[in-house]
Amino acid sequence: QGYLDEQFCQVEDLQDEANPNFAEEVVSLFFKDSTRVMLNFEQAIEKHPKDFARWDTHMQQLKGSCSSIGASRVKNECTSFRNFCGEENAEGSLLLLLCSCTRSFQKVKREHAVLRQKWESYFQLLRQAGPAGTATRPAGK
């Protein structure tokens, strides 16, 4: 579905018997950090309503986090947002630009929420399945 790229597979590959919940912990940290970045972004919009460079800095930070975890759809929406911010000096209406940026940020938030839901379901299924190989072990061993 394009929500994740191969980077997430690499994160999962780092999981082993010594760190069986590594991927889930990394994802949890990602959501803690990305939620904070988006809150900072919303505060920047309120306090600095025309400071596109400041907005872009927050979005670059979020995009980097998305890249490191493999959250490709959120990352792509961050790129779209940054493209809108890059148009700040282009001819056109400031109001139109603000509306475009606002709509783009709403898409970022929506993709972020959908990804959170999908990851929660994924890790819940993994927990229900139990550790790899336990279903095939003989009873009592």
Other beta carbons less than 10 A from residue 32's beta carbon = 9
Distances (CA, A) of 30 to 13, 19, 93, 110, 114: 17, 17, 35, 16, 14
Q: CB of 64 within 8 A of CB of 4?
A: no
Please, which pLDDT band fits residue 129 given cuts at 50, 70 and 90?
Answer: confident
Q: CB of 47 within 8 A of CB of 35?
A: no
Q: What structural domains and CATH numbers belong to the chain?
A: 6-128 (1.20.120.160)
Give the percent of the chain with pLDDT over 70. Answer: 88
Distance (Å, rounded) from C-alpha 65 to C-alpha 85?
19
Distance (Å, rounded) from C-alpha 53 to C-alpha 58?
9
**Residue 71: what pLDDT?**
97
